[in-house]
Structure 1
């Protein structure tokens, strides 16, 4: 199994556990709505970090940590969305980015 699909499986397991523990129904719409929500949260942190939003007492270090956390959330939800919709991300990356994410050919 390609590493990207293994990673998607790990996000799926964590998401399923979280949803079950919190009574969240992950229907078809949930996956795309979560993408939008997470992108909004990433944008909100970016606005604060670039002096276009209220920092609420957070310094650059705290905001950069939040930016990393929201980026991780967005990546996770992209992988969840692709997995739920049977999107072959490795094949799409080959088509669109012209490299194979399952091949370690970086010297």
Structure 2
């Protein structure tokens, strides 16, 4: 189930990298993941009153947090895909349930 989602993120990432001249070497996956963690943190800080609102409404800030969280999820899946990780087996082992995604 997750493997299909990984493939979708992989295809989208390939298109983005080609369009923007980005080389996705092994380090890129981890560096992008770290960048996205920072962006989620920034969005959370804004929403929770710990950062500048930049003129955004509460709903816009919630949307930013949702968008950045989606980016973070995508980059987790890209890292797993590029590294050949079996996230479904790890979820079953670590969280003790079968992912339905």
* Global fold match (TM > 0.5): yes
| SS of residue paired to 1:56 | coil
Larger Rg: 1
Give unmatched runs, 5+ long, in structure 2. Answer: none
Deviation digits for residues 73-100 of structure 1, max 9, x if unmatched?
0000000000000110000001000011
The two structures, once aligned, show a CA RMSD in angstroms of 1.1
Match of 1:39 in 2: 37
Q: Runs (4+) of structure 1 moved beyond 3 Å?
A: none
Match of 1:62 in 2: 60
1:70 Cα deviation (Å)?
Answer: 0.3
1:102 Cα deviation (Å)?
Answer: 4.6
Structure 1 position 83 matched with structure 2 position 75: no
TM-score (normalised: structure 1): 0.92
TM-score (normalised: structure 2): 0.97
- Aligned pairs, how many? 101
